Amino acid sequence: MNILNNWKMLDLITRDGESLVCVEGRVYGSNPRFPTSSCIRTSPVTGYRVDANSMVIMTKRGSEYLLGKPDPSQTFAQQRLIRRLLRLQQTAAPGFDSLETQLTDLSEHEETEKEA
C-alpha cells in the first residue's frame, strides 16, 4: 500500500457545485506508477478507516493510501479530514422525514390534504 507523507487535504468544488475532498502529498511505496517521493493528488476520497492509529483513505478510483505525517502547516490535519468526510457523507445522504417514515397507510382524504 502506498503511503502519503507531507500530505494536506484539498477541499474542491466542481463546476456543478459538488464538494469533493482530495489529498495531496508525497507518495512512498512499491507502485511503479509513482516514483518514490513524487508529489501526487488523489482522486476524490470516498471513505476511510483507522487501523492501529493509522488512517487509510479510499478514493473514487479504488486506490488506498496510508496517511503518514501531514504537512507541518496543517494543524490537526487528520481530525479535520475526518470531520470533512463525515459532513460530505451527511449531505450526500437523502433527507429523512420522520413523519413520512412512520406513516404506513394514508386515507384518500389525508393524501389529498398532503398534496395541497
End-to-end, the C-alpha distance of the chain in Å comes to: 56
| SS3 (DSSP) at 111 | helix
Query: 68-91: per-residue pLDDT in tens?
Result: 999 999 999 999 999 999 998 876
Confidence tier at 102 by pLDDT (50, 70, 90): very low
- pLDDT at position 106 is 47
Confidence tier at 92 by pLDDT (50, 70, 90): low
Asked if residue 113 has pLDDT above 80, the reply is no
Q: Which three cell numbers stand for residue 67?
A: 496517511
Q: Which residues pair with 27 in a beta bridge?
A: 4, 38
| SS3 (DSSP) at 25 | strand
Burial label for 45, CB within 10 Å (0-12, 13-18, 19+), is buried
The larger pLDDT score, comparing residue 33 to residue 60, is at 60
- pLDDT at position 89 is 82
Phi then psi dihedrals of residue 27, to 5 deg: -95, 140
Q: Which residues pair with 65 in a beta bridge?
A: 2, 57
Confidence tier at 115 by pLDDT (50, 70, 90): low
Can you tell me the mean pLDDT for 42-54? 91
Which residue is listed with cell 486506490? Answer: 63
Which residue is listed with cell 502519503? Answer: 4
Query: 6-30: per-residue pLDDT in tens?
Result: 999 999 999 999 999 999 999 998 7
- pLDDT at position 55 is 96
Amino acid at 30: S
